Structure 1
Amino acid sequence: MEVLTPEEMSAIDRRAAEAGPFDGYHLMRNAGAVAAAEILVRFADAAGFDVLCGPGNNGGDGYVVARLLAERGLDVRLLAAVPPRKGSDAARAADDCPLAARPLDAFRPAPDRIVVDALFGAGLSRPVSGAEAAAIAGVAAAGARVVALDLPSGISSDSGQVMGAAFDAALTVTFFRKKPGHLLYPGRARCGETVLADIGIAGALLEAAGTTLWENLPALWRSALPTAGPDTHKYNRGHVAVFSGGPTSTGAARLAARAAARSGAGAVTLLSPASALMVNAMHLTAIMLRRAETVTEVEQFLADRRPAAIVLGPGFGVGDWVRTLALLLLRQAAAERGGLVLDADAISAFAANPGELFDAARGETAPPLVLTPHEGEFARLFPDLAEREGSKIVRARRAAERAGGVMVLKGADTVIASPDGRAAINGNGTAFLATAGSGDVLAGIIAGLLAQGMPAFEASCAGVWLHAEAARLFGPGLIAEDLPELLPEVLAGLID
């Protein structure tokens, strides 16, 4: 589940070649062999194969693929704009390939032939132009299927952004570990099916890399997932408090409250203004209800019930009151609580003075803070970071460090970042989550896990994965109310 930057992958490649048992050229041959095998499994009936090779190691992999496909008696055309550097592993691969390379600018793709993209892979450092860009455009116009080696050429390995022009692959075969470009959009969509292949690099080399970026999979946080023992009771499963908006905007808070309960919290209380008490009461059963519309009432509730986690923001409204509450909650002693989740309006309310929120979050007694913005809310709180092009990972990490809390930067490729630099990219997101109230449910799930003692980063990662998995389980027709009811099934699979 580790995700490596191009620099980290290059360093591991070098150490692997030095440590053996495979030198650099044999690792290249292994990569080409695995890629050729994956191609034959899926596309052996193609009319032919056009292998496009660049001058670097990605091109070297392509020369190996071309040779192996030709040895099977298949129709293979080899094309290259620039030959490999003399003395390099790629040059050895080219010398071992019996096919003569044609000029890339003579390439004429056909819809019944497979294009093997070995132009740049993850090593791209500049926008694609010239003959390579023309080849990409020609392939798209012809409707030819593409198999990318390592990463579709034209996709930034760091950010997943298109650099000038990029292939749209049906299959991407990458090696050892994924790169950010495989998981971040639009790169993720351009990869098609992604196969992660073992080419003989020892996993122990990861320790020296010191990676702090992962794909968000259960193995990352499963050991911290709370489970109930035979002597468990509701009070040691944690109490979650969720603040409700006014009488016409109560639904978001109830979604968060139900999600907190379904994710395992022992008790959930909805804190409501007096004007919304009856509206909320009509919809609540296991979730408790309490009036809280003044500082005194909130402080009294905190003293009486000592909630383990709190959600503020869904459907609450933007104004002085939400800011007052957020700062009040951040001033409370953290010993009894798992954390504070700020979502939606509680984020936007600090747009004029985000530093006020960040300073409070760094207070000695402040509870762990989790912020769950979508891109629009993120831009309100971090306008300078939102304006920068580049990696979503970098933006989320910088925001987490500045805010002093875990950042859940939502989207199809949600990134979870901790102030200490750890980050994860979620890979099981689905378009079914693009429905009103979905984010409110996510805030409640995270709070429910926090209340049970899960650390903030792990709770956020787990919450994002569980949220998406529940949506995938339901499928078309999903509405936000469905999500909490699917959590028991998803959690049961993990716990069993």
Structure 2
Amino acid sequence: MRAAEAELVDEGVSVDELMRRAGEGAARWVWRISGGRPVTVLCGPGNNGGDGYVIARSLRHSGCDVTVVSAFDAKDGAAARARESWEGEIRGTGEGVRGEVLVDCLFGYGLSRGLSDELQSLLQGLAQTHHKLAAVDVPSGVESDSGRVLSPIPHYDLTLALGAWKQAHCLMPARSKMGRLELVDIGIGEVEGAAHVVERPRLCAPEPDAHKYTRGLLTIVAGEMPGAAMLSAKAAMRAGAGYVKLLSDHSHPDAPAGLVIDGAELADLLSDERIDAILVGPGLGRSDASRARLVAALQADCAKVLDADALHLLDKQVMDGTDASRIVVTPHEGELAKLSETFGVRADSKLDSARRLAEASGLTVLAKGADTILAAPGEPAQFFPPASSWLSTAGTGDVLAGIAASRLAHHGDPAQAAREAVFLHSEAAHLCGPAFTADDLAETVSSAYARFL
């Protein structure tokens, strides 16, 4: 963000102009949620506080009743000039201050320590006397790069990212506090090598001359608990692959029509040169027999998705001779910790673990959860818009793995398959509504797919 702002300044855009763009853009959102009712702007000493004074001035010009509270003198530069341009009173405390919306402009990105007791009391006190809370850039008390909450903070109704998304907007626990997220454009361009939020994909219908093999043959290796692999298969059949085969020696009376189930010798089945991708892990188990099934799958010459139990069995010995660049792993946080231990990765956050694991192993890592992260070797981290919290139910990870494997069988690109899977998974959850089951989710994938055509 600093580099992007510096580039604009080098091009002749003043810091004052950037502050004007940010403040006036944010003010339009505050005006919408205030409905013209009184607004309080809490300003800090730096540029985030300067944005606050511009917001206050813009709102007053629109006819809004605005109160400014600041326990600081502004620093030099644009922030001080913005403060001087505010024509109203600046209150040093929040005593007796009430309103519809509190706008938090205490501290923006770059904060590395928690708020003092005095500032925390000021912020919390004002939060209790306003109906709605809006944070400008990030809530005060949040570390913008990691998403760590450095001080106890209230829940916000709206967070306005200035110029570009910060990593905290995509990472827990901070994101859970931010409410609705909106981006205020100030003319920031892309920065090469920076992490970014993944854009919504565009999928396509099969070509007129397509057949089941041109659309991709996916093979799913079942294990000791066949229900999980069946969930993956149901999702995969609805996510674009033309042919889904379940390799299982169990009985499957609930198998959907069109799913091919084969219980022959695993090594023979996996030698089929027509296979485009293999999914192994859901319901696999962790026994010696399960490990042997994983080894057999890894030895096949095709792309792969590894999930669930496969991630606990995976190690450098099992990976020996395997092309890691063609493999997607889909760990939740516990599985990510296990993989990090296996590959000698030390990190103090989910984001760092995913990045370092990708570099150490060569794998494409889709670290799933409330803050899903995609990390691939040599690539910047990629983040996703928030998904439904109703996904926090058993079996939804098996559905995600099935979707990812189906997309991988279709086109063979690990990172692209992971991105498409996250969006299809999220859209299917949205279509399901509240309190759905993993089976409901799997059956809704084809309806979700239609939303991306």
Query: Is residue 2:9 matched to residue 1:17?
Result: yes
Alpha-carbon distance in structure 1 between the residues aligned to 2:413 and 2:275 = 16
Q: Which amino acid aligns with 2:229?
A: A
- Once the two structures are aligned, what percentage of the paired residues are identical? 38
Alpha-carbon distance in structure 2 between the residues aligned to 1:347 and 1:366 = 14
Alpha-carbon distance in structure 2 between the residues aligned to 1:13 and 1:377 = 38
Instruction: Give the superposition deviation at 1:477.
Output: 3.2
Which range moves more in the overlay, 72-81 or 282-291? 72-81
- Identify the residue that residue 321 of structure 1 maps to in structure 2: 289
Picking from 258, 262, 267, the partner of 1:286 is 258
Residues 1:259 and 1:91: Cα distance change in structure 2 (over 3 Å) = same
Unpaired runs of 5+ in structure 1?
Answer: 1-8
Alpha-carbon distance in structure 1 between the residues aligned to 2:108 and 2:383 = 20
In the alignment, is the contact (CA less than 8 A) between 1:226 and 1:453 conserved in 2? no
Q: Which amino acid aligns with 1:396?
A: A
Normalization by structure 1: what TM-score? 0.85
In the alignment, is the contact (CA less than 8 A) between 2:5 and 2:188 conserved in 1? no
Alpha-carbon distance in structure 1 between the residues aligned to 2:291 and 2:132 = 53
Alpha-carbon distance in structure 2 between the residues aligned to 1:438 and 1:364 = 28
- Identify the residue that residue 212 of structure 2 maps to in structure 1: 234
Picking from 183, 193, 210, the partner of 1:211 is 193
Deviation string 1:323-359 (CA, Å, 9 cap, x unpaired) is: 22323333333xxx2x111111111224xxx3334x5
Query: Is residue 2:157 matched to residue 1:186?
Result: no
How many equivalent residue pairs?
Answer: 452
Alpha-carbon distance in structure 1 between the residues aligned to 2:381 and 2:106 = 30
In the alignment, is the contact (CA less than 8 A) between 2:148 and 2:173 conserved in 1? yes
In the alignment, is the contact (CA less than 8 A) between 2:325 and 2:363 conserved in 1? no
Higher helix share: 1
Alpha-carbon distance in structure 1 between the residues aligned to 2:172 and 2:121 = 23
Residues 1:127 and 1:366: Cα distance change in structure 2 (over 3 Å) = closer
Residues 193-342 of structure 1 mapped to structure 2, 5 A cutoff? 193-199=180-186, 201=187, 203=189, 206=190, 209-219=191-201, 222=202, 225=203, 227-246=205-224, 249-273=225-249, 276=250, 279-280=251-252, 283-292=255-264, 297-304=265-272, 306-333=274-301, 337=302, 339-342=303-306
Residues 33-432 of structure 1 mapped to structure 2, 5 A cutoff? 33-46=24-37, 48-86=38-76, 88-103=77-92, 106-108=93-95, 112-142=99-129, 144-199=131-186, 201=187, 203=189, 206=190, 209-219=191-201, 222=202, 225=203, 227-246=205-224, 249-273=225-249, 276=250, 279-280=251-252, 283-292=255-264, 297-304=265-272, 306-333=274-301, 337=302, 339-350=303-314, 354-357=315-318, 359-360=319-320, 363=321, 365=323, 368-383=326-341, 388-390=347-349, 392-432=350-390
Normalization by structure 2: what TM-score? 0.93
Secondary structure in 2 matching 1:494: coil
Alpha-carbon distance in structure 1 between the residues aligned to 2:59 and 2:386 = 34
In the alignment, is the contact (CA less than 8 A) between 1:79 and 1:102 conserved in 2? yes
Alignment RMSD (CA, Å): 2.3
Residues 1:109 and 1:226: Cα distance change in structure 2 (over 3 Å) = farther
Residues 1:186 and 1:109: Cα distance change in structure 2 (over 3 Å) = farther
Secondary structure in 2 matching 1:269: strand
In the alignment, is the contact (CA less than 8 A) between 1:14 and 1:24 conserved in 2? no
Instruction: Give the superposition deviation at 1:305.
Output: 5.4
Instruction: Give the superposition deviation at 1:82.
Output: 2.3
Alpha-carbon distance in structure 2 between the residues aligned to 1:194 and 1:367 = 34
